[in-house]
Amino acid sequence: MVDYSSKALSIIMLSLLATFAVAYAIPQTVSPLNNSTNPPPFNNQRAPVSGTVSTYLNLIQHPPQAISTTSGPGTSFSASIVADPTIIFNLDNSPFPQNEETVAVNPATNTIVGGYNDFRGILALLFPTVPAGFTGFSISNDGGTTVRTDGDLPKVTLPLTNSPTLSGGDPAVDSSNTGAFYFSNLYDNFSTSKFAGCPKRAPCESAILVFPSVSSSSLSSCLGTGCWGSPKIVVDTTFTGTPSSGIFNDKDWIVVDRTSHASGLYVTYTAFNLGNSQSTINMVRCTYDLTLCSSPSIISGPDLSTQGSFVAVRPDGSIAIVYVRYDTLPLRIRGIQCSPGTAVTFTCGAPTTIASITNEVFSLVNDDFRVPTLPQVAVDYISAHPGRVIVVWQECNTQGVAGSTFVILTCPQPFVRAAYNDATSMAGPWTTVNVTSNGFFPAVAIDPSKGTVNVAYYSTTNDPWAHRLDLFVSQYLSGAFPGTPTVTRITTASDEPDADPLLHGGFLGDYIQATASSGTIYLGYTANYAQKGTPPSYGQDNYLTTVPD
């Protein structure tokens, strides 16, 4: 953990506040068929680019200046927490926010690894010697009771432009049967040279890196970036903003094959083609030691505007992928099934439609942050429903006019839907059901040891103004989905999403994650319960809650 009290934390909160005020005065959500508020060079894309990328570009376009705070340098930041049944899953003592959580567990050693967007990276932009980035991680070795170490993934020199580049967010983490963890995230050189880099200087470079952890035994004592081995660059491309050309890589996700088929690990992501304004879902397969990876392959077939892939492994070793198709209205949740071949090869079937979204959610009426549709998928390993695939996403309850279908830009009440499929193929048939009448950012996890289906989500149901948030989890005993769940409110105090002094209510991340193992569900999410800074304010942090399932 970096002691920020010894660094120049005279970074100036007033200037950063002004920066983010400008950034989030611009609408963050629009129709996918006219997505003109994607920041350049993505403004011709139908699918929304990552919220993290939009935030970085806003920072580049409106750079903060170093103006002193009233407390001056050397300020020691402390945190006081309101009562809540959870821990802050970081050791950050600065006022910078964290969001967009991912979490994985090794139940044999009680080790939990969490990842998140980490705005401590702003320090590295202003002060290049500060060892920070925009992708943070935390490690617990006692099942989530305490955080033993944390940090940011390190700066890496990208080879195509020879550019030292900070980690860029969109974190995803998974674990193997040996206790190793694998962490994928974005690296792009937007942030090169103190806001004077790409895209103002071309060419830009866009990469996805996978970091392997140190050995399971070493994870109990490693510190900071010493917990990770040398990264593997699994995707690397260049692009330019003027004229628009090349490929920008976005929204990665990772899964490790823990079945007896032992086929390695898979990374899916969105490739934005800036030349033809199209976006595809691509996949890479690697060996466990990362010495061999396949070339990226387009798996989304004829779909031309896609985003938000999520990937899981079925008991037979096949790979299930879901994503959103933005080509036409209504938007569609799409599914693909792939099969591993020899070495790092794989073959995939054609995409199939799992569900059509009648009323898409892009933001909420009484909240300012964007709410993109990013479906998540989980697979059942229990004999009651072996190989069952469950997909979750959010929709708006507002109905179309005269049976028409259209996009709802600001939704008065989002709800969570699910689809399940017991067939051996992602082609279905699929059955859709409602999970809750008020909820968004759903995450799904199925405990492989018990078969409990867990669906976590935010909801404004406890606030009469439909603004403040709580986290809930709906749990279905093995074989009971889609029956009546046990619903548990995780947060004891509703969260004020506008409280963060930097992000305000403009960005809450694009997703949360849940994972389940050995009778416990691990929930990683964003909330504003900690007071940090001078004067103290309630800012965004990544939280971890463990609940029996």
Q: What is the CATH number of the domain that holds 219?
A: 2.120.10.10
CA distance 122 to 58: 12
**Confidence at residue 151, expressed as pLDDT on a 0 to 100 scale:** 96
| Residue 96 placed within a domain | no
Alpha-carbon distances of 542 from 330, 349, 498, rounded to whole Å: 33, 37, 15
Residue 27 banded pLDDT, cuts 50, 70, 90: very low
Does residue 25 register a pLDDT over 80? no
Tokens of 434: 């409602």
Lowest-pLDDT range of 121-125, 390-394, 505-509, 515-519: 121-125
| Residue 401 placed within a domain | yes
| Residue 220 placed within a domain | yes
Residue 170's nearest CA partner among 83, 21, 52 is 52
Tokens of 397: 């309850």
pTM for this structure?
Answer: 0.90
| Residue 132 placed within a domain | yes
Span 366-385, pLDDT tens digits:
999 999 999 999 999 997 88
Give the CA-trace dihedral at 545, 102, 63, 243, to 10 degrees: -160
Residue 483 banded pLDDT, cuts 50, 70, 90: very high
Lowest-pLDDT range of 238-242, 276-280, 438-442, 537-541: 238-242
Residue 99's nearest CA partner among 84, 89, 85, 113 is 89
CA distance 224 to 137: 9
Domain range for 260 is 4-90+101-548
SS3 391: strand
**Confidence at residue 12, expressed as pLDDT on a 0 to 100 scale:** 42
**Confidence at residue 139, expressed as pLDDT on a 0 to 100 scale:** 98
- Residues 456-473, mean pLDDT to the nearest whole number: 96
The total of structural domains in the chain comes to: 1
Span 181-224, pLDDT tens digits:
999 999 998 644 443 456 555 678 999 999 999 999 999 999 99
Contacts 24+ apart (CB under 8 A), 483-486: 485/435, 485/453, 485/455
| Cα within 13 Å of Cα(56), Cβ side | 33
| Residue 421 placed within a domain | yes
* Max Cα–Cα distance, the chain, nearest Å: 63
| Residue 193 placed within a domain | yes
CA distance 124 to 121: 5
CA distance 515 to 518: 11
- Residues 149-169, mean pLDDT to the nearest whole number: 93
**Confidence at residue 8, expressed as pLDDT on a 0 to 100 scale:** 42
| Residue 95 placed within a domain | no
How large a percentage of the chain has pLDDT more than 90? 67
Ramachandran category for residue 318: left, alpha or beta (phi over 0 → left; psi -120 to 50 → alpha) = beta
SS3 16: helix
**Confidence at residue 383, expressed as pLDDT on a 0 to 100 scale:** 79
Residue 421 banded pLDDT, cuts 50, 70, 90: very high
